[in-house]
Amino acid sequence: MNKETVEKYIDGFNKNDHNQILACLTEDIVWTVFGHFRRTGKQADDAAIENEDFTGYPVLRIVRMVEEDDTAMAEIHGETHRATGEQLRMAMGEVFVMRDGLICERRAFVINIEENDYKWLLKCCAGVGRALHSLRTTADNEMPGPSEETTARSYS
């Protein structure tokens, strides 16, 4: 149930649906974006949904989510636009503390992803993939497999 509430909450941001967002929150919600702000109460959250520093509304995508007891944690990627027109891409780690199926606390770690950082990340991932492929090919071609004696001992 908690994961479904978080999914509904994020979907509300994607549709800019205040009622859907607010329906997922307790009255005493605490929303912290570390290094930026801390807001308390549903009305404070409602006022922050549309921020004059940004235009439109964000596009958020839950990459993965895990749940344990009264807590759901999600990796979220998002995009939005500043009022200046600049595109902002971000990666977020979000902790959602739940009470009775509603979000009573949201703790967010937000990292802005610059274009060069994004390209660097892709390049590193490609480099690691090439290195692993090279190691695997070398190992397959040059290293002998287990002997029959070793294999027999492994399974006894």
**Do residues 26 and 41 touch, judged by C-beta distance below 8 A?**
no
Tens-digit pLDDT string for the chain (156 aa)? 899 999 999 999 999 899 999 999 999 999 999 999 999 999 998 888 877 888 888 899 999 999 999 999 999 999 989 899 888 899 999 999 999 999 999 999 999 887 656 555 556 555 555 544 454 444 444 444 444 443 343 333
Q: What is the pTM of this model?
A: 0.71
Q: How far is CA 55 from CA 24, 37, 49, 88, 145, in A?
A: 23, 19, 11, 11, 60
Q: What local confidence, expressed as pLDDT, does residue 150 receive? A: 37
Q: What local confidence, expressed as pLDDT, does residue 7 receive? A: 97
Q: What local confidence, expressed as pLDDT, does residue 146 receive? A: 43
Q: How far is CA 74 from CA 10, 82, 108, 110, 124, in A?
A: 11, 24, 10, 12, 24
Q: Is the dihedral of CA 143, 145, 150, 153 positive or negative?
A: positive
**Do residues 92 and 78 touch, judged by C-beta distance below 8 A?**
yes
Structural tokens at position 79: 């995009």
Residue type, position 89, single letter: R
Q: What local confidence, expressed as pLDDT, does residue 152 receive? A: 40
Strands (E), 1-152: 25-33, 37-40, 54-68, 71-82, 87-99, 102-113
Q: What local confidence, expressed as pLDDT, does residue 143 receive? A: 43
